[in-house]
Structure formats: C-alpha cells, structure tokens
Amino acid sequence: MRCLTLAVHLQKKGAQCFFVIRSESEEILSIIRSKGFLFYQLRSPNNEEICAPSSGPEHAHWLGVGWKVDAAQMNAALKDLKIDWVIVDHYGLDINWERSLRVNGRLLMVIDDLADRHHDCDLLIDPGVEPDLCEKYQKLTNNDSLRLIGPKYALLRDEFINLKNSQNLKRKFCIPKNIVVMFGGGDSDQSTLESLNIILKVMPVDTKVDVIISLANVNKTAIVNFCNLNRAFTPHVASSEVAAILARADFAIGSGGGATYERVYMGLPALLKVVAKNQLKPLRYMEKIGLISLYETKEELRLELIKVFHEGVNPPPDIVQDGVSVICRLILDKLVQLNVPVPLDVRRTYQWLQNATLRNQFLMSARPLRIGHFNYWRNLISDCEQKVFSIYFKNQHIGNAGIKNINIKKAQSELWLYMGKTIFQGMGLGKVVLTALEKIIHEELCCSKVILHVSKNNTSAYNFYIHNGYAISADQSEISKFNSTDQVVCMEKLL
C-alpha cells in the first residue's frame, strides 16, 4: 500500500510507474489494477528454485526463492524497459539483491522499517520513531546514500492529507463514543472478531463501532454477520473512506504497520496488538513516548477498554507528517542536472523561442533573430558576474536557469528559470530547479535574499513562486528596465 501511495504521487508528477510482483493474490492484483498501474507478475518458482536460505536477512524465507533467482527474474522483466529508479519494499531483500539490480545506470530506493540488514541504495526511507535509527542506518548503508529517517517522512495517502487539512482536526480529551476497529491484512489469528466480542460486552449503550476489513481478511463473512446482528457495529469491506472513518472516531483498536502512522497523523488514540514479531520493538517505543497503547491478551484488552470508557483518552503527540511530496521531489531531483550550456543547448533554446506561447511568458513580442540570439547567449555564458545553466532531465535538455545581479553587499541575488519544453511544465521539476538555485545562492554566494521578476500574465509561474514562499517585493524600482512595466512584478524571498 505504501508503494501504491508513492506511485500515485509520482504519476501525478509525470512519472510512468509499474509494479513487479510475485504474489498470486487476486486481492492484491485487483488493488494495483484499480489504481491504473500495469504490473509484471513473476512466475512461480519450480522445485529447484525454492530453497531454504542458509544466510541473509531474517525474513529471507518470505521471498519464496533464493535472492539470485529473484534478481535474475527481475532483471529479465526489466530488460526491455529504460528504468530510472527501482523502488523496493521487502524485508527479505538486502544488499546482494540490490547490487544485482543496479545496472544500466538505475537508481535504487529502499523502504524499510526494521534496520536489520545492509543496503546498497541511493535513497532510504524509514518513518520510524526509534531514537537510534539514524546511527543504525549509517552503518547499514553506503556513505553516499541519502537517508530520510523519522515520522516526518511517513508515506500517507492523499485522503488523509486532504481530510486533515480541510477539517483542521484538533482533538482533545474525551470519553470515546465512536470506536474504529482495523487490523488489516488476512487477520489469520481472528483479532478482529476477538476484539468485537469484547467491545460488545463492555461498551456503553450509546457507543458506535466502525469495523474496517480488507478483501484478504479470512474471517470477513463472520465479521459482516456479527455486525449485521449488532446494530451498533458497521462493517466496511475494502473501504476507500478510511480517512473519513478515522476522522469521526474517538478511539481505535488494531494492529501495527503502516496504519499506525495514519492513526497518529489523524490524532487518534489507539490500543494496538502486536501481530508480527518485527512490530514489537518499534511499537513498544511508540508506546513509551505516548503515541499508542499496547495489549497482548483478551483479558488485557477487556481491562483496557473498561478503563478507556470510564477515564477517557487524550490524543497522541502530533509528530507524523506527510513525507510523500519530499520523497517524490528527491526522486526527481536525482534525474535533474544543472549543466554548463553547450552550443547544442543554445540551438535548442532558439527553437523553443519560436513558440509564441513561451515568448509571451517572457513578454517577447517577436521571434529572436538567429545572430542576435547566439550573440546574446555567447555573452551570457562568458559573463563571470552571473551563472547560467542548462536544465537536463534524464539526460534531456528541457529548460534554462540562471543567477544574476549578484550583490554581495546587500546579500541579494536574482534568479530566473523556465522550461523550454512545455510538456515538462507542471511535473514538479521547477521545484527541484528552484531549490537547487536557492541552495547555490545561500551556500555558495552567501546571500540571504532572492529576488525574481515575473509577468503578471504568467499566472502559473506567479502561483508557483507564491506556493514556494515568494511574495511581492516592496521595492519595484527595477521593473523600469522591462519594456512593459505594467505587466511585470518583482518578488522576493528570504532564505
């Protein structure tokens, strides 16, 4: 589910994503199809390929085959595709498998939350809250890996972000009236039914209970039947309204996993059961810092619920943030370069400026003359008092950018950027370039203020800069150098 969350966001940024999967579960395959993604299904292993791993990660047996077989099948699936990134989320895979996939210039990202094996990757994500995770991953990854550790990098679906923002959720102490039960997965130990029977016995008469289960839940028929017999209980099978259900709940009962971060993000107090060995340590630490409470036995659940219904609950600390937009930007960032312009870049720029729509964004009324264009760029590149770059995305020249009017005394510089290939506008690449330019201005030029000039008619660019922290400057004196001063505005930002 967290890979799907990431893929949906990347697709919105113009990326083409697809899945490689070994599972034969129709429920999982139908979820991938429902999101509109293609997938390649690895064939089932033959008897010779199934082997009990003698070494490797603790969860290596989850893979179903030896890592060499799996890596060979993966590379075969990808051989006819030009893949920029491989994103892997599997407890049974480690540095050996990852090195086998890092061919043809592929970049590799790992999603992990165990910190129990070595990785060879460009980017690693773990939203865990344990205090020693950074030190652990420093030893488990290569030195040039970018590691995003902590709950501010949680992979949250849009429905949670949008709902929390729109409703401005601010919880406080309460006696729970609305309970949500959500264990997820196959629920093979019947935790859902167990909790429902206990809730029924101890809940006040005015309590309402929402029960969220997946299509894979092996007890879904019995759970739905239980709810139908008890009107205070409402079943939700494979619901697309999970965020809304959590928003109206006062208290949750469930298991660990990705849903833990969703509940904390929504400010929902929760009583959780450890249903897998690898959940124990992180959940215990989360309990220690007040994010959740834990129970093990039916009797513990009964006693905890009695206490909750009599004494009430407080919301957990607000420490979980949406990390998807940051992660997507970094994924794109690895594919974007700011290069020194070469003659072919200048020729392509000349062709771009034949486009009247692009020229209008720069308030250019006429096509540039070839000789004037090349002279302008020759002078621009040779000017040691400014910086100019060709924007490359996946080794393709797509735009230009630069820094000029560098004033060390005022600690101020002016930047400019544009996408010459308009099909790349709106993909999030502008944010990547803007961040890179601001970094140069702040760290290399030691300037604390950035200014820029934008056409009032170029509403997409104007809104882009507003969204990224720029505001209209009080000083509009420099717009006099533009031919149409009534259509240009100066914006600024403090770094």
Domain assignment present for residue 13? The answer is: no
Given a cut of 70, is residue 483 above it in pLDDT?
no
Indicate if 185 and 128 belong to the same structural domain. Answer: no
CA distances from 162 to 2, 210, 321 (A): 17, 21, 13
Say which CATH number the domain at 477 has.
3.40.630.30
Of 279, 296, 311, the position where a domain reaches its end is 311
CA–chain centroid gap for 32, Å, is 17
User: Could you tell me which of 339, 323, 361, 377 has the C-alpha nearest to residue 146?
Assistant: 323
Residues 143 and 170 in one domain: no
Q: Which of 253, 289, 285 is nearest to 269 (CA)?
A: 253
Confidence of residue 7 (pLDDT cuts 50, 70, 90): very high
| Domain match, 250 and 386 both | no
Tell me, yes or no, whether 172 and 98 share the same domain: no
Sequence length of the chain is 495
**How much is the pLDDT for 441?**
96
Q: 69 lies in a domain?
A: yes
Give the mean pLDDT of 121-140.
Answer: 94
> Taking CA 265 as the corner, what is the angle to CA 17 and CA 133, rounded to the nearest 5 degrees?
75
In terms of domains, do 165 and 130 share one?
no
For 379, phi then psi, to 5°, come to: -70, -40
**Does residue 471 sit in the same domain as residue 423?**
yes
Give residue-wise pLDDT tens across range 350-399. Answer: 999 999 888 887 777 789 999 999 999 999 999 999 999 999 998 899 99
Instruction: Check whether residue 163 and residue 139 sit in a common domain.
Output: no
Q: Which two tokens stand for residue 126?
A: 């773990």
- Which of the listed residues 149, 173, 193 is the one where a domain comes to its end? 149
Task: Read off the DSSP letter of residue 80.
Answer: T
Say yes or no to pLDDT of 480 above 80.
no
As a whole number, the mean pLDDT across the chain is 91
Looking up residue 215, the CATH number of its domain turns out to be 3.40.50.2000
Does residue 419 belong to any structural domain of this protein? yes
Q: Provide the domain count of the chain.
A: 3
Residue 47's domain comprises 42-149
Q: Is residue 324 a part of any domain in this protein?
A: no
Spatial separation of the C-alpha atoms in residues 18 and 228, rounded to whole Å: 39
340 shares its domain with 456: yes
339 plus 488 within the same structural domain: yes
CB 3 within 8 A of CB 87: yes
Rounded Cα–Cα distance for residues 129 and 218 (Å): 31
Buried b (16+ CB within 10 A) or exposed e, 79-110: eeeebbbbbbbbbbbbbbbbebbeeeeebbbb
Q: CA 179 to CA 177: how far, in whole Å?
A: 7
Q: Are residues 99 and 164 in the same domain?
A: no
Q: Is residue 460 part of a domain?
A: yes
R_g of the chain, CA atoms, integer Å: 27
**Is residue 325 assigned to a domain?**
no
Within a domain: 370:
yes
pLDDT value of position 82: 83
Scanning 440-492, the segments in alpha helix (DSSP H) are 459-467
H-run or E-run covering 39: strand 38-41
pLDDT per position as a tens digit, 313-356: 999 999 999 999 899 988 988 889 999 999 999 999 999 999 98
Domain boundary among 91, 115, 149: 149
Q: Examine residue 438 and state whether it is found in any structural domain, yes or no.
A: yes
- Report pLDDT digits (tens) over 243-286: 999 999 999 999 988 899 999 999 999 999 998 888 888 999 99
Q: How far apart are CA 131 and CA 137, in angstroms?
A: 12
Helix (H, G, I), strand (E, B), or coil: what is residue 478? helix
**Encoded tokens for 467:** 């969204």
User: Residue 66: pLDDT band by 50, 70, 90 thresholds?
Assistant: confident
Residues 102 and 185 in one domain: no
Which of 171, 192, 188 is CA-nearest to residue 235?
Answer: 192
Same domain for 200 and 65? no
Using DSSP bridges, classify how beta strands 208-213 and 178-182 pair: parallel, antiparallel or unpaired.
parallel
pLDDT of residue 186: 83
Assess whether pLDDT exceeds 80 at residue 481: no
Longest Cα–Cα distance in the chain: 86
